[in-house]
Amino acid sequence: MNQDASAPAPAEESAPNGRALTVLKIAVPVVLLVGLGLWFESRNRVSTDDAQVDGHLVPVSARVYGSVEQVAVTDNQAVKAGDLLVSIDPRDIQAKVDQAKAAQAQALAQVEGAKAELERAQVAFQQARGSDLEGAKANADAKRASFDKARNDVQRMKPLADREEISAQQFDGFRTQAEVAENDWKAARERLASMQHESQSRKVAVVAAQARLASAQAQVTQARAALEALNLQLGYTRITAPVEGVVTRKYVETGQTIQPGQGLMTLIPLHQTWVTANFKETQLADMRPGQAAEVKVDMNGVVLKGHVDSIAGSTGSRMSLLPPENAVGNFVKVVQRIPVKIRIDEQEAGKVVLRPGMNVEATVITK
């Protein structure tokens, strides 16, 4: 009886073993398939957790000296390009602008005066070179002809006077006429020389007037340039945002006196960020610009799609402040890392706001 009661026991123990064997037969192929699939997927993917978000840091600095009149933004405030950030008291520069305007007006007046003087000098020169000089030349020629005639008359009358065919009084008259004609010719020559000298003087006056006009015009140009420079400085008293971004590290306060070149704040355009992933040099064998990439954000685990933009031309250690010196005896070979720039696709960029310095995990699909 005891032997009959214990007979079913082996069958009950074998049933669980059979189920376990069945599960094992099913699970092993599934695990193998999953592992094989993961292997096929991972063999064309290279990943690194040494990756951070990068972006442009746009410094905002003063370009003129002055006292801060207004600070229109606060830390971490979003601004658009062209929005007012800081205004500087413009009164000092405005006073200089008014002085420059007065100097320009004075220079313009000097130009007008120089133009009028040049016109007068040109008229006087034309007159001296024209009718007056021609009249003096004609008069000198006429007096020369009269003198020649009177001299010839004396020469013709002298033989007659020697033979006493004419009286001595008549001969003296001819000689007197010759002397008078000679004096008239000398006076005409002196008048002509004086007119020629005056013409030359008036020509020099024209050249001098032209030089004064050029100098006055140069002063106008100089005054205009000074006024434009001061107007430009006046515009610099209103400091506006050069790009759209977020205000960060604001140093400036109302009432503060600032110097040209002094930093006031930094703008970070969050819509222009990218990922810098430092891959091992052994991972770059099949990596090329344009390949698809995935970026997992540590902040919330969101995965963003992107692409490889470019690969750096040097390792990160070589571009550091103190690059390693391998020309020593105790050299240890270390796998280097090369920065790879990854751009997030436009349709993915709106999912998460990436801020420079955030940690991410980058994966590049090489095939």
Q: Are 58 and 267 in contact (CB under 8 A)?
A: yes
Please, are residues 50 and 278 in contact by the beta-carbon 8 Å criterion?
yes
DSSP-assigned letters across all residues of 8-28? THHHHHHHHHHHHHHHHHHHH
How far is 68 from 220, CA to CA, in rounded Å? 33
Average pLDDT, the chain: 84
Is the per-residue pLDDT at 25 higher than 80? Answer: no
Q: Output the pLDDT for position 5.
A: 47
Query: Which of 185-199, 238-252, 263-277 has the lowest average pLDDT?
Result: 185-199
Measuring CA to CA, which residue among 277, 267, 272 is closest to residue 340? 277
Question: What's the confidence (pLDDT) of residue 8?
Answer: 52
CA–CA dist 335, 286 (Å, integer): 17
Query: Span 305-312, mean pLDDT?
Result: 94
- Choice among 77-81, 105-109, 131-135, 248-252 with the minimum mean pLDDT: 131-135
- What domains can be seen in the chain, in order of their start residue? 58-89+239-268 (2.40.50.100), 92-235 (1.10.287.620)
Cα–Cα nearest to 233, from 51, 100, 143:
100
Q: Which of 145-149, 157-161, 172-176, 260-264 has the highest mean pLDDT?
A: 260-264
Q: Is 33 helix (H, G, I), strand (E, B) or coil?
A: helix
pLDDT band at 42 (very low <50, low <70, confident <90, very high): low
Binned at pLDDT 50, 70 and 90, residue 290 comes out as very high
Q: Give the phi and the psi of residue 244 in degrees, each rounded to 5.
A: -80, 135
Q: Which one is predicted more confidently, 45 or 151?
A: 45
Residue 308 CA to residue 291 CA, distance in Å, equals 5
Give the pLDDT score at 169: 78
- Per-residue pLDDT reduced to its tens digit, 99-148: 999 999 999 999 999 899 888 888 877 766 666 667 777 777 777 887 77
Confidence of residue 17 (pLDDT cuts 50, 70, 90): low
Q: What is the pTM of this model?
A: 0.65
Helices 131-162 and 168-235 meet at what angle, rounded to 10? 160
